[in-house]
């Protein structure tokens, strides 16, 4: 009997893990999760920067070589979403759950559908404004004005997402506002034979309006993730991209046929300076590039926040104007240089605030911010989920 008891003790000791090994195993789990999350964020960031840059350059190339349809230019920003469907249905990580907020109760189909319809309508109108801005403005000026979307996003996030406006964020908003305002005094429309002063003003106003709309959409997407969808999975992100693209594409199709621009598309393709094949390839790759951008932007929203997603978009600011000087021979005058410097300074100020927030979370919880709750989730919800 004693021998049996000793044997049971030995077996039990073998089953019980070594405390040191258990600690190592537990500590390796957060590190692994943090690494995977940073890897996703790095991928999304690359998608945003590359997709935005390529799509903007191709959009300007369409206009410079004979393209004239504003609604077609709008449609190609949106209609590429079907290329995501095979990945959506065949991906093995379809239910990669990251966070479920509180006592999760699925939202009603009416609520979810309303989110997609409202956001889709805003996105469709927003893309049309961007198309007008890109038609009437040099691409370098257009890109610098688009930096103001970060300021608009912070403004809307303050009211919709409870964003705290720290001194560094306020500094970023001020610099980005001044950066865009300076371009209103740019005199390059006087030296341009292509665009009149009136059209330049229209392009400027439409681009500012589009930047405001984009900032609003990002804040509303973040709000929808937190208040309506209440889940953060691969499926939820893809649903947001695909259904928004579907609604916004429908809006653009209605605009294309209602405006009568569809009648001139065949003639436009025949007279395209680079040829028919280049015309089609330009439209196709513009659509693909914008979908790459959409994946990255939406992914960053639920991994971090809408403001961070927008900040990454602004990070690509210097790339487009520099490429525009090389490809389209845009003039990089002193006012544009000052505007670019202020915009980069504004982004740096915001990025530094994010760095301070991360350090604060590390000190409070003893873990990196990436291992804690999503900053885009309201604090009270995050407490419930714990």
% of the chain exceeding 70 in pLDDT: 77
In a domain, 37, yes or no: no
Can you give the pLDDT at residue 98? 47
> Which range, of 21-25, 150-154, 166-170, averages the lowest pLDDT?
21-25
pLDDT of residue 10 exceeding 50, the answer is no
pLDDT digits (tens, 9 = 90+) for 13-69: 444 455 555 545 555 555 667 778 788 888 888 998 899 889 999 999 999 999 999
346 is a domain residue: no
Mean pLDDT of 313-335: 77
Contacts of 67 (CB under 8 A, 6+ apart): 73, 268, 272, 279, 282
Residue 75 lies in a domain: yes
Asked whether residue 345 is assigned to any structural domain, the reply reads no
Looking at 41-45, 257-261, 360-364, which range is the least confident one? 360-364
Among 113-122, 156-165, 185-194, 238-247, the least confident range = 185-194
pLDDT at 287 over 90: yes
Q: What are the C-alpha distances in Å from 339 to residues 123, 287, 334?
A: 27, 29, 9
Burial of 92 (0-12, 13-18, 19+ CB in 10 A): exposed
Q: Could you tell me if residue 370 is inside a domain?
A: no
Residue 371 in domain: no
Which residues partner with 231 through β-bridges?
Answer: 100
Total domains in the fold of the chain: 1
Q: Report CA-CA distances (Å) from 144 to 177, 180, 336.
A: 11, 7, 8
Quote the pTM value.
0.78
Res 69: pLDDT: 94
Segments forming the whole domain that contains residue 121: 47-169+187-332
371 has pLDDT over 80: no
Block residue for tokens 């305002």? 181
Q: Is residue 288 part of a domain?
A: yes
Residue 304: DSSP 8-state: T
- Please check whether residue 42 lies inside any domain of the structure: no
Instruction: State pLDDT tens for residues 117-126.
Output: 999 999 999 9
Non-local (6+) Cβ contacts of 207 within 8 A are 129, 130, 132, 133, 134, 137, 142, 145, 146
């Amino acid at each position: 009997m004693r021998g049996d008891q000793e044997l049971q003790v030995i077996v039990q000791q073998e089953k019980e893990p070594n405390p040191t090994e258990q600690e190592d195993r537990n500590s390796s789990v957060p590190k692994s999760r943090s690494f995977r999350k940073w890897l996703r964020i790095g991928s999304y960031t690359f998608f945003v920067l590359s997709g935005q840059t390529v799509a903007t350059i191709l959009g300007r190339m369409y206009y410079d070589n004979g393209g004239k349809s504003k609604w077609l230019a709008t449609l190609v920003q949106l209609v590429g979403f079907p290329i995501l469907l095979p990945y959506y249905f065949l991906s093995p990580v379809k239910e990669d759950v990251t966070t479920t907020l509180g006592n999760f109760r699925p939202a009603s189909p009416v609520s979810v559908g309303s989110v997609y319809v409202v956001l889709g309508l805003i996105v469709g109108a927003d893309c049309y404004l961007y198309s007008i801005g890109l038609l009437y403005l040099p691409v370098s000026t257009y890109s610098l004005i688009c930096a103001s979307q970060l300021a608009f996003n912070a403004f809307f996030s303050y009211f919709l997402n409870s964003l705290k406006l720290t001194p560094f964020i306020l500094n970023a908003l001020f610099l980005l506002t001044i950066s865009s305002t300076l371009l209103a005094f740019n005199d390059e429309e006087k030296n341009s034979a292509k665009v009149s002063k009136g059209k330049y003003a229209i392009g400027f106003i439409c681009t500012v309006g589009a930047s405001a709309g984009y900032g609003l959409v990002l804040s509303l997407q973040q709000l929808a993730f937190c208040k309506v969808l209440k889940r953060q999975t691969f499926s939820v992100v893809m649903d947001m991209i695909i259904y928004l693209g579907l609604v916004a594409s429908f809006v653009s199709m209605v605009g294309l046929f209602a405006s009568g621009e569809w009648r001139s598309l065949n003639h436009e393709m025949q007279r395209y300076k680079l040829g028919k094949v280049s015309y089609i390839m330009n439209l196709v790759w513009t659509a693909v590039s914008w979908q790459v951008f959409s994946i990255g932007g939406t992914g960053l929203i639920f991994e971090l926040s809408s403001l961070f997603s927008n900040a990454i978009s602004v990070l690509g600011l210097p790339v487009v104007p520099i490429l525009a000087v090389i490809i389209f021979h845009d003039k990089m005058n002193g006012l544009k240089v000052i505007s670019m410097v202020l915009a980069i300074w504004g982004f740096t100020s915001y990025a530094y605030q994010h760095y301070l927030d991360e350090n604060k979370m590390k000190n409070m919880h003893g873990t990196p911010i990436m291992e804690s709750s999503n900053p885009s989730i309201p604090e009270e919800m995050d407490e419930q989920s714990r």
